[in-house]
Structure 1
Amino acid sequence: MKRNVLIIGAGGVAHVAAHKCAQNNISLGDIHVASRTLGKCKAIVDSIREKGSQRGSGLLKAHQLDALDVEATKALIRSTGSQIVINVGSPFLNMSVMTACIETGAAYLDTAIHEDPDQVCEPPPWYANHEWKRRDACRAAGATAILGVGFDPGVVNAYGRFAMDAYFDEVESIDIIDINAGSHGRYFATNFDPEINFREFTSNVWSWEGGQWKSSRMFEHRKDWDLPVVGRSTAYLTGHDELHSMSKNLGVPNIRFWMGFGDHYINVFTVLNSLGLLSEKPVRTAEGLEVVPLKLVKAVLPDPASLAPTYIGKTCIGDLVKGTKNCRPREVLVYNVCDHKDCYEEVGSQAISYTAGVPVVAAAMLIANGVWDVRQMVNVEELDPKPFISLMNRMGLVTRVRDEQGDRVLDPYKESPATARSPKQVVDAPAV
């Protein structure tokens, strides 16, 4: 059993994660929130107290931390007695926080792939450029590290794995579709960190097709999808984190990621990009000031967390899986629908942050009770998805499935065969 959680980050996802940890602190123990800006951490703690999210006794405390400082992070892990670290700060922090966890033995979780500030869209598979280089160190230290356990990446990895095990003999394709049909009422804003958001779209788009990497340009390929609740929606082929582990671990020849964008977003993005305002490379002004255009744009855009009070509408995110069962073609959609207003009423968040923050806490709980405490580095699709999906159903992210039998809530233990055919052996937690 592992106890006490240190949450690194103080943005929208950290806000949700802290609330969900507090709701489950009887299992998780003390909750600590740390970032460079102490005031943001204190605001999260205050919001938990205001909403009465904390269910049991235990510490709930804010800390100031530069998480790029490995020694400082190690010291905070040790002083708080934290055995689980949830890294939901900037993806630029991943390797520093992971190093601190390996060296202290704390379990490590994140929700996005590591990024080098000086490089955009590195060669695939992205995990091989950074995180996977520490797999041997994790195993040697007996440290659990679960990578990319937000929604996408994270839940969609588990959906793909579950669908393969439960519904198919062979899978030909997994199309991950992310549609936000909500409205925040602002002229222009991003739903998560603008810097990270724009970096995803300013270079090559990598997809996994025919068992190899295929490069295209952003907004080059579009497709209309008919999805539950949000209806017919246009999405664009986009590169994304989960493709870079699922392509390696699942043995599926075609895995693609599609994200919905409105015409207004595309127009504003195109103008900013064409003017060079989304560049991560510094420029010098006539006054001699050195400015990074992308950071300037981030500074003038709304804080994604500030969108929550007026956000309305729903999201629909899921995996459309196609293949064969008993030599017959089959198509299954495994998905979740989340309501922005409901999220705000529960934890003061919009749905984009909620869908990323709930899964990482569910994973922390599975580490705490030993189910996912595997003492090595893994991606989500390498783990048994059933306890993860079942736990999220109880925590506020309900999974549904649509197939030839209709549309229903997914109970993974009822729909999964006793002995699932699996593309790769599920990683089991070692015996204690």
Structure 2
Amino acid sequence: MKKNVLIIGAGGVAQVVAHKCAQNNDVLGDIHIASRTLSKCETILDSVREKQSMKTEGVLQAHQVDATDSAAVARLINETGAQIVINVGSPFVNMSVLDACIETGAAYIDTAIHEEPDKICETPPWYANYEWKKRDLCAEKEVTAILGAGFDPGVVNAFARFAIDEFMDEVKSIDIVDINAGSHGKYFATNFDPEINFREFTGTVYSWQEGAWQENAMFEVGREWDLPVVGKQTAYMSGHDEVHSLAANYPHADVRFWMGFGEHYINVFTVLKSIGLLSEQPVITAEGQEVVPLKVVKACLPDPASLAPNYTGKTCIGDLVKGVKDGKEVEVFVYNVADHKDAYEEVGSQGISYTAGVPPVAAAMLIAMGEWDAKAMKNVEELDPKPFFTVLDRIGLPTRVRDESGDRAWNA
């Protein structure tokens, strides 16, 4: 049984992870959190103590580390005795943290694909550019590495696997739909790191259709969805991590990702992009200073964590999976609904951070208990989804199913 967790990162998602690890420290043991800025880690741990999240008495400690320095991360893993690393730092540090885990033998979990700061939207499948290159080494050294174990990617990958295994002989399509029907009350803000948020939407929209990669522009393809609780919402086909692993594991299915956007977001985004303010490439100001426009925009926007106190409304994220069962066409929607206010009251974060932060803790618990200790690199759809759903149900993100038989809990 693996125990003792090291959390990398100190943003809104890391806050959720810290609270949830504390609530389950009877399974996860000592809890350590590290980032470049020690004070941010200490603020998160203060929140954990204030809300009395620790289930049992135990270690709760903050550390400073440059997560781009793989050797420094490895030293910290060894110093803390951590056997599970939950990486919710910037996607720019994925490979250095993964390398530290391979060196030390600690299990690795992340919630998003690796990115390089000066590159956007690389050649698909994205995982093959970085993480999958370490797959053989993880297997050789028997290191468990679970990629993309947030909500999307993550839980939605498990939704797809579950729908296919339980309801189909053959899968035809997987449409992942992410709707945030909440309101934060700001003129304009992003729900997570603005730099990462905008990078998702400035490149090519890749989808897997008819056995090949298809390319579209952002906001080119949209449609209305009628979903549980949040009702009718417009979502646009977007590029996203999980498409790239699901396409590899289900190559005969069309795989698409859809995200909800309001007209106001689209208008502001379009203006920022059109005048070059979303570029990741540096420019020289009239005063001779070199700046990256995207980083300037990030500095001017609200910190996503600051949105939490006034956030209202709900999210609905799920998979509409279509296929064939006993010669007949079937479709099933597997989904979760989360509430922004409930998330804030429990862990001091908004619902987007909550949905991203709870699943990697569930994954860590399954590694600790041995059920997901794969001793190899895996994307979430390559693991049994039922234990995952069971833990998620218990710690805050229940899974539901809607099909021709009605709307019900996944295990009803």
TM range (shorter): over 0.9
> Paired residue for 1:50?
50
Provide the residue aligned with 2:258 in structure 1. Answer: 258
Give deviations 1:159-193, integer Å, cap 9, x for gaps.
00000000111111010000000000000000000
1:217-247 deviation per Cα after TM superposition (whole angstroms, max 9, x unaligned): 0000000000000000000000100000000
**CA shift for structure 1 position 390:** 1.1
Residue in 1 that maps onto 2:283:
283
1:164 corresponds to which letter in structure 2? I
SS in 1 for 2:374: coil
Relative to the length of structure 1, the TM-score reads 0.95
| C-alpha separation in 2, matches of 1:81 and 1:227 | 45
| Structure 1 residues 405-424: aligned runs within 5 Å | 405-411=405-411
1:239 lines up with 2:239 in the alignment = yes
Note the C-alpha offset of 1:139: 1.1
Q: CA deviation at 1:407?
A: 0.4
What is the distance in 2 between the residues matched to 1:72 and 1:239? Answer: 33
1:87 matched to which residue of 2?
87
Q: Deviations over 1:84-143 (max 9, x none)?
A: 000000000000000000000000000000001111000100000000000111111111
Deviations 1:379-398 (A, max 9, x none): 00000111001110111001
Q: Which moved more, 1:197-206 or 1:246-255?
A: 246-255
Q: What's the secondary structure of 2:241's corresponding residue?
A: coil
- Find the aligned partners of 2:252 and 2:62 in 1 and give their Cα distance: 43
* Secondary structure of residue in 2 paired with 1:346: helix
Task: Please say if residues 135 and 376 of structure 1, whose CA atoms lie closer than 8 Å, have aligned partners that are also in contact.
Answer: yes
Give the SS at the match of 1:201: helix
CA-to-partner distance for each residue in 1:243-295, whole Å, 9 max, x for gaps?
00000012342010000000000000000000000000000001010000000
Gaps of 5+ in 2: none
- AA aligned to 1:154 is G
Structure 2 equivalent of residue 370 of structure 1: 370
Alignment of 1:2-401 (within 5 A): 2-401=2-401
In structure 2, C-alpha distance between the alignment counterparts of 1:57 and 1:198, rounded to whole Å = 41
Contact 1:13 1:353 (C-alpha < 8 Å) held by counterparts: yes
Amino acid at match of 1:141: K
CA distance in 2, matches of 1:69, 1:123: 26
The one-letter code sitting in structure 2 at the alignment partner of 1:75 is R
Shift of 1:378: 0.6
Do the aligned partners of 1:161 and 1:250 also contact (CA within 8 Å) in 2? no
Report the Cα distance in structure 1 between the residues aligned to 2:29 and 2:171, rounded to whole angstroms.
Answer: 41
Letter in 2 for 1:51: K
Deviating above 3 A after TM superposition, structure 1's stretches of 4 or more consecutive aligned residues are none
Aligned partners of 1:20 and 1:361 also within 8 Å:
yes
Distance 1:334 1:43 in 2: 36
- The separation in 1 between residues aligned to 2:34 and 2:402, in whole angstroms, is 40
Q: Match of 2:201, SS? A: coil
Separation (CA, whole Å) in 1 of partners of 2:382 and 2:375: 13
Q: Could you tell me how far apart the structure 1 residues matched to 2:3 and 2:193 are?
A: 30
For residues 169 and 105 of structure 1, what CA distance do their matches in structure 2 show?
Answer: 38
- SS of 1:66 mapped into structure 2: coil
CA distance in 1, matches of 2:222, 2:170: 26
| Partner Cα distance (2:49, 2:346) in 1 | 13
**Is the 8 Å Cα contact of residues 5 and 86 (structure 1) preserved in structure 2?**
yes
Letter in 2 for 1:236: Y
Deviation at 1:327, TM superposition (A): 1.0
RMSD of aligned Cα (Å): 0.6
5+ unaligned residues in a row in structure 1: which ranges? 415-432
Distance 2:329 2:372 in 1: 33
Q: C-alpha distance in 1, partners of 2:264/2:202?
A: 17
Identity across matched positions, percent = 71
Letter of the 1:289 partner, please give it.
Q
What is the TM-score normalised by the length of structure 2? Answer: 0.99
- Cα distance in 2 for partners of 1:201, 1:358 equals 25
Distance 2:266 2:169 in 1: 39
Residue of structure 2 equivalent to 1:422: none
Distance 2:114 2:148 in 1: 10
CA distance in 2, matches of 1:11, 1:211: 38
**Code of the aligned partner of 1:21:** C
Q: Distance in 2 between matches of 1:30 and 1:19?
A: 13
Cα drift, residue 325 of structure 1: 1.2
